[in-house]
Amino acid sequence: MDTLTHALSGALLARATASKDAPPRSLPRRVAAGFFAAAAPDLDFVLAFVSPVFYLEQHRGPTHSVLLLPLWALVLSWVLAKLLREPRGWRALYGVCALALGAHILGDLITSFGTIIFAPLSDARYAWGMTFIIDLWFSGIILAGLIACLIWRRSRVPALAAGVVLVAYVGFQALLKEQALDYAREYARSQGWSGVELAAHPRAVTPFNWTVFASDEAAHRFAHVNLRRTEPLPPAHDFVGRLNAAFQPLAHARWETRTRYGETEAEQRIARAAWRSDALGFMRWFADKPAFDGLTVGSTCAWFADLRFLNPGRDWLPFRYGACQERPGGPWRAFERTGDASRRPVD
């Protein structure tokens, strides 16, 4: 979830859980604490300045851990009590900071990126994959609730109502995910694909846009579908229009295939060696839908991408990494692909 939506969700939760008996002057400080505490876990973006690999390994890690939540709540409540000049001290803000941190973790769990909620004891990433990382409907519900709170300042009912609507919306998205998986299951059966792993990932613009996958050890087959559309949209020239028009009605879905290691025997030999190398251990851990992204020669490089982040209508794909071998039989070294002909080392 984007950081602004996280922050707004913390403010909404702070207002919804405010005690009726609390002094009126304390409410702005409580809402502000919820806002800043809910945004705080994303401060781990600074890890990208250390290295992109370190960022992948630690993003949504310790700052998003339910095990470390009590500690972070203590730190944040102490800092925010100083900044907001809370006369009752950190204890007055500890509860709302803990709630806001919990809301942040839940907000990330419903996306597809993966959250290491049991750091530092486990590096397992959990993702429920029901909501796109930037969902304007999700954000809009929260914003509408906060605006209503400004109109009816003495009541927390608008905040509670917005919270109920938000939970219902995410539940609706969970039902849509099951519909997308049902479609993928039926299509795989009709094509005689056996032993495939099915998945569905939410996409931008509308909750009806999904990318469905049928994956096996050799390749990923996938389609970008809209669960409610009956006719394809005409081509669009604006960014949002391009994103939306790329998703086809189920009856018009176009399935594509991306291999895990390439098409030819020569490609597969190099790609398999690179993928299994120590240099790409981080990518094997991180990537949910790893796919072959080409070879470059000179110094031999095999590139890979995570199709989990493939969005039609967008010209770029994040998290493209590879391993390069400067000489036959030499060690593999990890690189990030910054363009089709450019790279940078990540170690």
- pLDDT, residue 84, reads 94
Q: Is the pLDDT of residue 298 over 70?
A: no
Give the burial string for 75-107 (b: 16+ CB within 10 Å, else e): ebbbbbbeebebeeebebbbebbbbbbbbbbbb
The total number of structural domains in the chain stands at: 3
d(CA 139, CA 8): 8
In a domain, 157, yes or no: no
Tell me if residue 259 falls in helix, strand or coil.
Answer: strand
Same domain, 9 and 95: yes
Q: What residues form DSSP beta bridges with 302?
A: 295, 323
Last residue of a domain, one of 94, 112, 128: 128
Same domain, 328 and 234: no
Same domain, 122 and 221: no
Same domain, 205 and 236: yes
For residue 196, the domain's CATH number is 3.10.450
In a domain, 194, yes or no: yes
**pLDDT tens, residue by residue, 158-217:** 999 999 999 999 999 999 999 999 999 999 999 999 899 999 999 999 999 999 999 999
Q: Which of 204, 206, 207 is nearest to 178 (CA)?
A: 207
**pLDDT tens, residue by residue, 312-331:** 888 788 899 999 988 878 89
Same domain, 277 and 253: no
Q: First vs last Cα of the chain: how many Å apart?
A: 28
Last residue of a domain, one of 128, 163, 192: 128
Instruction: Report whether 309 contacts 296 (CB < 8 A).
Output: no
In a domain, 204, yes or no: yes
Same domain, 68 and 114: yes
Same domain, 19 and 37: yes
- Average of per-residue pLDDT across 219-223: 97
Residue type, 271: A
Same domain, 191 and 85: no
Domain boundaries, position 218:
173-259
Same domain, 225 and 193: yes
What pTM does this model have?
Answer: 0.92
What would the two tokens of residue 274 be?
Answer: 């690179």
In a domain, 60, yes or no: yes
Same domain, 18 and 62: yes
Last residue of a domain, one of 128, 157, 183: 128
Same domain, 333 and 273: yes
